[in-house]
Structure formats: structure tokens, C-alpha cells
Structure 1
Amino acid sequence: MRKTIGYTVESIGYVVGAQGLVSFASQTLFGTEWGWLHKVVDLPSAAYLGITVAGLALVVVGVKTRKAPDRQPVA
């Protein structure tokens, strides 16, 4: 079960991080809106960078959860 939760959190982190990075880069470098995140919220560039960091944090948590040793119940 722990591996399933780890993979799920990690996958969500990749999507959130990628969308934050794409939104940040498009707004900062090109002055346009790319991705789907800008359709949900309209944020300044720094906030999109924060969303990227939050996505990376989810990836790290997912990997650590997945790699944590399973606890065996003591009988």
C-alpha cells in the first residue's frame, strides 16, 4: 500500500511541478500563457515558481514514502 501511495503522490508532484514550471517560463520569458494552470488561477510569475517547488516537494515525499520499509506487525 505504501508503494501505491508513494507512486500516486510522486505522479501528482510531477504534473504540478511541470505545470508550474511551464507557466512560470511562459509568463517570464515569452509574456504568454502556456499549459492549463493559468486557466484555473491567474497568478504572478513568482507564485508559479512556488507551485513548481511544491510539485518538487510532492515528488520527494512520494519517493521517500515509496522507499520507506514496510512495517511488519508483531504477532
Structure 2
Amino acid sequence: MRTTIGYTVESIGYVVGAQGLVSFVSRTFFGTEWGWLHNVVDLPSTAYLGIVVVGLALIVGGVKTRKAPERQEAA
């Protein structure tokens, strides 16, 4: 079960982080809107960096959950 949850959280982290990065780069360097995140929320450019950090935190949390050793039940 931990493996499934870890992969799910990690996958969500990749999507959130990528969308945050794409939104930051597109607004900062090109003045346009890329990705779908701008359709959900209207944030300033620097706030999208916070979205990237949230994505990275989800990735790290997913990897730690996935790699956590299973507990042995005492009989």
C-alpha cells in the first residue's frame, strides 16, 4: 500500500511542479500563459515558484513513503 501511495504522491508532485515551472517561465520570460495552471488560479509570477516548491515537496514525500520499510507485526 505504501508503494502505491508513494508513486501517486510522487506523480502528482511531478505534474504540480512542472506546471508551476512552466507558468513561471512563460510569464517571466515570454509574457504569455502556458500550461493549465493559469486557468485555475491567477497568481503573480513569483508565486508560481511556490507551486514548484510544493511539487518538489510532494516528490520527496512520495519517494520517502515509497522507500519506507514495512513494519513487522510481533506475533
Q: TM-score range by the shorter chain?
A: over 0.9
List runs of 5+ in structure 1 lacking aligned partners.
none
Question: Across the two proteins, how many residue pairs are aligned to each other?
Answer: 75
Percentage identity across aligned positions?
83
Amino acid aligned to 2:23: S
* Over 6 Å off, 4+ runs: none
Structure-to-structure mapping, 1:57-72, within 5 angstroms: 57-72=57-72
Q: What's the TM-score, normalizing by structure 2? A: 0.98
Q: What's the TM-score, normalizing by structure 1? A: 0.98
Q: Give the alignment's Cα RMSD to 1 decimal.
A: 0.5
Q: Within the alignment, does 1:21 sit opposite 2:2 as a pair?
A: no
Corresponding residue for residue 46 of structure 1: 46
